[in-house]
Amino acid sequence: MAEIFDQNQQRAVELTSQYRAVMEQVGHTLWARPEVGLEEYHSAALLIDLFRREGFRVTAGIGGFPTGFVAEFGQGGPVAAILCEYDALPNLSTTNPGANGHGCGHNLFAAAAVGTALVLRDVLKEGTVPGTIRVYGTPGEENYASKAYYVNQGLMDDVDFSVGFHAHDENKVNYTVSAGTLTKSYTFHGKPAHAGNYPWLGNSALDAVELMNVACNYLREHVPTDVRIQYIITKGGDAPNIVPEIAQSLYVVRAACRATMDRVADRVDDCAHAAALATGCTVDIDYVDRTYNTVLLREYAELAQKHLDAVGAPAFTQEELENARQYGDGSGLHQQITPLPWAEGYQGGATDEGDVSWIMPHVSIYVSNVARNTPGHTLQMTAQGNCSAAYTAMETQVKAISTMILDLFEHPQMVETLKAAHEKKLAGDRYPKNPSYWPDPKAFLNCQGVEISGQKITADFSQLILLPESFSGQVTVEKDGAVAASFTGSGSASSQIPLAEGDSLTVVAVSDDGSRQLIGYWNL
């Protein structure tokens, strides 16, 4: 290890073990209180408070996400983005059946991001190398793709390169393309009628949904093999004896590249229009969400592989090895470093890391936090996400990533080489940014600590989870930028502007220095 690492990188290796307790505390706390996407209020508060205490410059409530944040340390030199996820999944608790659980290991993702940031912070403080680290807290990876919103809004425009972490069953550099996904909702409008006496007077919106599904099923024969077309019927009518006036389906198109995804999605739209025409209905097509396929760079992957090889496989204890044999396929934990494949692989899963990879060089290093062939999004994954072995593997991950980032800080010409390779890989294609791309307030829970009844607004500061510690200033409740009520402490007030059903209000912490932090929404 010491043969290829300089003094700064060796220092990072030593610091990693010192920060294991912090990483375990973060990982365990998130694991014990799992929150699904867009509801990660306690998780975000934990991370935001930690970074503020550790001397990072923190901006919270970014991109329209109350639980989003960016924490920055350092100045000058290249800017490195450390991605940080912390959302859980529903119905995957191993301690409370039916409750949320970290069945994808995002508690470990966040813990590794924290550990890497603290290690790099300490090295940067010594002043021998310039560089800036920026931790992006990214809510809702499983259900809302906040990274895509950050990219569209330009929140990452000045970043030079990024890194990601993920729980896995293998020690390797990810060299597999994730699919791009495009999600749309199709709402068909027909004409109701009595289904027994006068069905000929109606136009069935459900017939249109089913005809669209049939057309799309035939379409599957005529798309590339990497494409997946998936759907559910979200509304089929109100009663079988009424010709359905409204019916709705939700479609996801997956593909290995953006252009193919868009072409197939257009064909799906054609199927919807044809089904509406055939049944005498109309159709509304609404965009829901999209993520882009990952852009892999051989040069960056090779650099990551160099550092992972140098660090070596996780040093599991005998107890950790034995405990892991009860999970996965029974073969235990992966104890080698997988060589980098000669060619890119492909898998149909999706991640909003793909959106990041379109605007900068990006790489992810995986480590064997869980036993071999443990399926993701399962109770088995949740069960292992807080085991000792998960954090032993994490030490390898943090060492490899922190030494790699320091290598890039120390050799800025390498950063420029990666950026040039990224530009070449895109071959003139560009991520179609939309600066007004903003999350829908109605996707969020009403802000805990605020109550609105009629024109009366009540605030309870003790329940405002994301309110900064030692806050000094006002909390405002706003509608379209106009203040409905403001509070310097818990209390009630009548709205200064008319409120009506359907309004979406924002809850903002306005500090004495004028800085603003989005801390929640309220939907009437």
pLDDT tens column, 480-490: 999 999 999 99
Token pair of 458, please?
A: 């009540």
Q: Which residues, at least 6 apart from 125, have a Cβ–Cβ distance to it below 8 Å? A: none
Predicted local confidence at residue 258, as pLDDT? 87
- Cβ pair 34, 117 in contact under 8 A: no
CA distance 161 to 228: 30
Identify whether residues 280 and 318 lie together within a single domain: no
Q: Does residue 332 lie in a domain region?
A: no
Mind listing the pLDDT tens digit for each residue in 181-227?
Answer: 999 999 999 999 999 999 999 999 999 999 999 999 999 999 999 99
CATH of the domain at 396: 3.40.630.10
**Which of 380, 400, 426 lies at the terminal end of a domain, its last residue?**
426
CA distance 424 to 300: 13
Identify whether residues 265 and 199 lie together within a single domain: yes
Predicted local confidence at residue 288, as pLDDT? 85
Closest CA to 301 of 417, 175, 186: 175
Identify whether residues 130 and 274 lie together within a single domain: no
Identify whether residues 60 and 146 lie together within a single domain: yes
Identify whether residues 166 and 25 lie together within a single domain: yes
Amino acid 375 reads P
Q: Does residue 436 lie in a domain region?
A: no
Identify whether residues 269 and 366 lie together within a single domain: no
Indicate the number of domains in the chain: 3
Q: Does residue 339 lie in a domain region?
A: no
Predicted local confidence at residue 469, as pLDDT? 84
Residue ranges for the chain with pLDDT beneath 50: 2
Residue holding tokens 């791309």?
Answer: 437
**Which of 362, 392, 426 lies at the terminal end of a domain, its last residue?**
426
Predicted local confidence at residue 239, as pLDDT? 95
Identify whether residues 404 and 449 lie together within a single domain: no
Predicted local confidence at residue 378, as pLDDT? 97
> Which contacts of 346-349 are long-range, i.e. CB under 8 A and separated by 24 or more positions?
346/176, 346/177, 346/179, 346/226, 346/256, 347/176, 347/177, 347/178, 347/179, 348/179, 348/226, 348/228, 348/254, 349/178, 349/179
Identify whether residues 254 and 301 lie together within a single domain: no
Identify whether residues 398 and 495 lie together within a single domain: no
Closest CA to 411 of 303, 312, 310: 303
CA distance 82 to 77: 15
Q: Does residue 316 lie in a domain region?
A: yes
Mind listing the pLDDT tens digit for each residue in 248-306?
Answer: 999 999 999 989 999 999 999 999 999 999 999 999 999 888 899 999 999 999 999 99
Residues in the chain: 524
Predicted local confidence at residue 127, as pLDDT? 87
Q: Does residue 260 lie in a domain region?
A: yes
Predicted local confidence at residue 290, as pLDDT? 87
CA distance 51 to 125: 15
- Cβ pair 184, 264 in contact under 8 A: no
Identify whether residues 78 and 166 lie together within a single domain: yes
Q: Which residues form the domain of 244?
A: 179-291
Identify whether residues 400 and 485 lie together within a single domain: no
A 10 A CB-CB count for 258 gives 20
Q: Does residue 215 lie in a domain region?
A: yes
Identify whether residues 376 and 501 lie together within a single domain: no
CATH of the domain at 446: 2.60.40
What 3 state SS string does 365-432 have?
EEEECCCCCCCCCCHHHHHHCCCHHHHHHHHHHHHHHHHHHHHHHHCHHHHHHHHHHHHHHHCCCCCC
Q: Does residue 435 lie in a domain region?
A: no
CATH of the domain at 262: 3.30.70.360
pTM of the model: 0.93
